[in-house]
């Protein structure tokens, strides 16, 4: 266990030191399990989100994007089954009053893991994980609304709108990225389980009977994306199929994509066959037809089955951070480096003038500006030794560093240092933008 905490402590501390993730409202002592993304974190998160959007929406003709509101009609959550069933068993220690999930392995013997009291717990009560608030100025039951616990429902209720406006034909998908909220009983492990998080969800509508085949298709596609686009080590990824006792109320079959975190194999994406459960329920509760009518054969009408891919954006970011983290020895010195895929790195390149004189800062600034003009996130740094500047960029995960030195004025070349191989090559200052552009795609 010491190693697990050690690794997590190191990551949390690096994340804070370098401006990836800060505790929310830290100056007030912090808010439980809510986190803020700092200057590098917000870039990393955007890069993960953009890569997902590009693969899911821009690169495909059969998936449309959507951005539905967080607040929805309360009937949505009755239809979806969340009001009745989105619950976890909650128990409370009769001595210290700490609360736990009733299915938590640590409390199975009946002993409180915090104060040690034996036979500490009574019968669990079911606790609904949805956050509630009120719409409008009157706080009564007719004004109750929920913060959505998944983004998926915003897609289902817009199914007909998207079909009509985009003229897509089944099979096709709708993708969305957005905030979701769950009042988790036991959040934890940094940004792994939080109460406010973002999901990247895609709902793929298929003809009943073709659902098993599409499930296999999406399993393969998502695994390939994690390996090739996110650059996650394949040996750290696996699938876990849900047994009958794990399946959500809407699912016929479900697979978790798991990553081997320091605290064990854990899910960060779910691929679910939700059948026609959601659309059928919304049809029933709203009274509106949610059938799909095949335009080539209007006698063919059915409620499509749905294959869902549902990834947590924050959890994927934790996977990316974990997988990139390395401690290495370089020329007799320890370095901590984040080996992000260049496509995901918050800063793509750092520019250093070797010394603060002889016109080197001006040349370095000019190169920095050409990167900005090309839309490549670049960082200018002229403070401290070159070794220290490299170490700072290694911890930020910057894949390339450029040094402008005396030779630059003579032959127009700079040194380009590769974060992973540590190789340094001299290349023309005029060629650096193209060099980086090619490698960060
Ligand atoms: N629409 C289906 C759905 O929401 P889920 O398995 O409950 O399925 C999907 O959630 C993903 O959302 C998870 O794999 C995880 O990455 C992320 N997620 C769920 N609860 C979370 C939490 N409390 N904190 C951070 N991420 C969470």
Q: How many domains does the chain have?
A: 2
Shared domain check, 416 and 287: no
- Is the CB of 64 within 6 Å of ligand 1? no
Shared domain check, 433 and 317: no
pLDDT at 314: 98
Shared domain check, 365 and 278: no
Shared domain check, 245 and 303: yes
Name the percent of the chain lying above pLDDT 90.
87
Report, as an integer, the average pLDDT of 321-349: 95
pLDDT tens, residue by residue, 43-88: 999 999 999 999 999 999 999 999 999 999 999 999 999 999 888 8
Shared domain check, 353 and 262: no
- Is the CB of 154 within 6 Å of ligand 1? no
- Is the CB of 225 within 6 Å of ligand 1? no
Shared domain check, 391 and 270: no
- Is the CB of 150 within 6 Å of ligand 1? yes
Considering the domain boundaries, does residue 425 fall inside one? Answer: yes
pLDDT of 199 > 70? The answer is yes
| Mean per-residue pLDDT of the chain | 95
Beta bridge partners of 226: none
Q: Which CATH number belongs to the domain containing residue 367 in this structure?
A: 3.40.50.800
Q: Are 147 and 70 in contact (CB under 8 A)?
A: yes
pLDDT of 2 > 70? The answer is no
Label residue 250 by pLDDT band (50, 70, 90): confident
Considering the domain boundaries, does residue 20 fall inside one? Answer: yes
pLDDT at 105: 80
pLDDT of 425 > 90? The answer is yes
Q: Ligand 1 centroid to 282 CA: how many Å?
A: 22
pLDDT at 370: 98
Considering the domain boundaries, does residue 91 fall inside one? Answer: no
pLDDT of 5 > 80? The answer is no
pLDDT tens, residue by residue, 320-330: 999 999 999 98
Three-state DSSP state, 51 = helix
Using left for φ > 0, alpha for ψ between -120 and 50, and beta otherwise, residue 221 falls in alpha
pLDDT at 331: 81
pLDDT at 3: 73
Shared domain check, 316 and 177: yes
Considering the domain boundaries, does residue 105 fall inside one? Answer: no
Q: Strands, DSSP E only, in 332-436?
A: 333-338, 349-353, 378-380, 400-404, 413-418, 424-428
pLDDT at 210: 98
Considering the domain boundaries, does residue 51 fall inside one? Answer: yes
Backbone angles phi, psi at 357, to 5 degrees: -155, -175
pLDDT at 347: 98
pLDDT tens, residue by residue, 77-128: 999 999 998 888 999 999 999 889 888 888 888 999 999 999 999 889 899 9
H helix count then E strand count, the chain: 13, 23
Shared domain check, 165 and 66: yes
pLDDT at 224: 98
Considering the domain boundaries, does residue 64 fall inside one? Answer: yes
pLDDT at 1: 44
Range of the domain at 414: 347-439
Shared domain check, 202 and 64: yes
119 to 66, 108, 284, 331: CA distances (angstroms): 50, 10, 45, 57
Tokens, residue 416: 């380009």
The atom number, within ligand 1, closest to the CA of 151 reads: 1
- Is the CB of 201 within 6 Å of ligand 1? yes
Report, as an integer, the average pLDDT of 418-436: 97
Report, as an integer, the average pLDDT of 382-388: 95
**CA geometry: angle 183, 268, 400, nearest 5 deg:** 120
Give nearest CA residue, ligand 1 atom 2. Answer: 310
Tokens, residue 44: 């990393």
Q: Are 251 and 279 in contact (CB under 8 A)?
A: no
- As a whole number of angstroms, the distance between CA 234 and CA 86 comes to 33
- As a whole number of angstroms, the distance between CA 419 and CA 441 comes to 17
Shared domain check, 221 and 156: yes
**Closest CA relative to residue 99, chosen from 78, 113, 82, 80:** 113
């Amino acid at each position: 266990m010491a190693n697990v905490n050690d690794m997590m402590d190191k990551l949390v501390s690096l994340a804070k030191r370098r401006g990836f993730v800060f505790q929310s409202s830290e100056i007030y002592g912090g808010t439980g399990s809510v986190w803020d993304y700092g200057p590098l974190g917000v870039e990393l998160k955007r890069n993960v989100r953009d890569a997902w959007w590009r693969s899911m929406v821009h690169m495909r003709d059969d998936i449309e994007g959507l951005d539905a509101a967080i607040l929805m009609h309360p009937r949505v959550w009755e239809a979806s089954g969340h009001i009745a069933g989105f619950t976890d068993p909650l128990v409370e220690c009769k001595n210290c009053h700490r609360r736990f999930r009733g299915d938590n392995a640590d409390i199975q013997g009946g002993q409180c893991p915090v104060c040690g009291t034996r036979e500490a717990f009574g019968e669990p009560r079911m606790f609904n994980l949805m956050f509630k608030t009120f719409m409008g100025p009157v706080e009564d039951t007719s004004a109750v609304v929920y913060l959505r616990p998944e983004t998926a429902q915003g897609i289902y209720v817009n199914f007909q709108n998207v079909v009509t406006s985009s003229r897509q034909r089944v099979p096709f998908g709708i993708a969305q990225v957005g905030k979701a909220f769950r009042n988790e009983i036991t959040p934890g492990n940094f940004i792994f389980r939080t109460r406010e998080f973002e999901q990247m969800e895609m709902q793929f509508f298929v003809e009943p009977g073709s659902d098993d085949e599409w499930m296999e298709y999406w399993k393969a596609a998502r695994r390939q994306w994690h390996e090739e686009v996110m650059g996650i080590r394949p040996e750290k990824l696996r699938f876990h199929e849900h047994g009958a006792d794990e399946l959500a109320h809407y699912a016929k079959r479900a697979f978790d994509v798991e990553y081997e975190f320091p605290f064990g194999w854990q899910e960060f994406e779910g691929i679910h066959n939700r059948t026609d459960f959601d659309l059928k329920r919304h049809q029933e509760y709203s009274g509106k037809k949610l059938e799909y009518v095949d335009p080539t054969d209007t006698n063919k009408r059915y409620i499509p089955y749905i294959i869902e891919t549902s990834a947590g954006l924050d959890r994927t970011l934790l996977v990316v951070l974990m997988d990139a983290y390395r401690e290495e020895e370089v020329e007799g010195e320890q370095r901590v480096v984040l080996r992000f895929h260049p496509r995901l790195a918050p800063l793509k390149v750092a520019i250093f003038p070797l010394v603060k004189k002889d016109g080197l800062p001006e040349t370095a600034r000019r190169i920095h500006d050409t990167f900005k003009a090309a839309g490549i996130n670049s960082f200018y740094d002229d403070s401290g030794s070159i070794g220290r500047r490299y170490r700072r960029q290694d911890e930020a995960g910057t894949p390339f560093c450029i040094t402008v030195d005396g030779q630059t004025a003579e032959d127009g070349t700079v040194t380009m240092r590769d974060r992973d191989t540590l190789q340094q090559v001299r290349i023309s200052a005029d060629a650096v933008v193209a060099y980086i552009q090619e490698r960060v795609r």
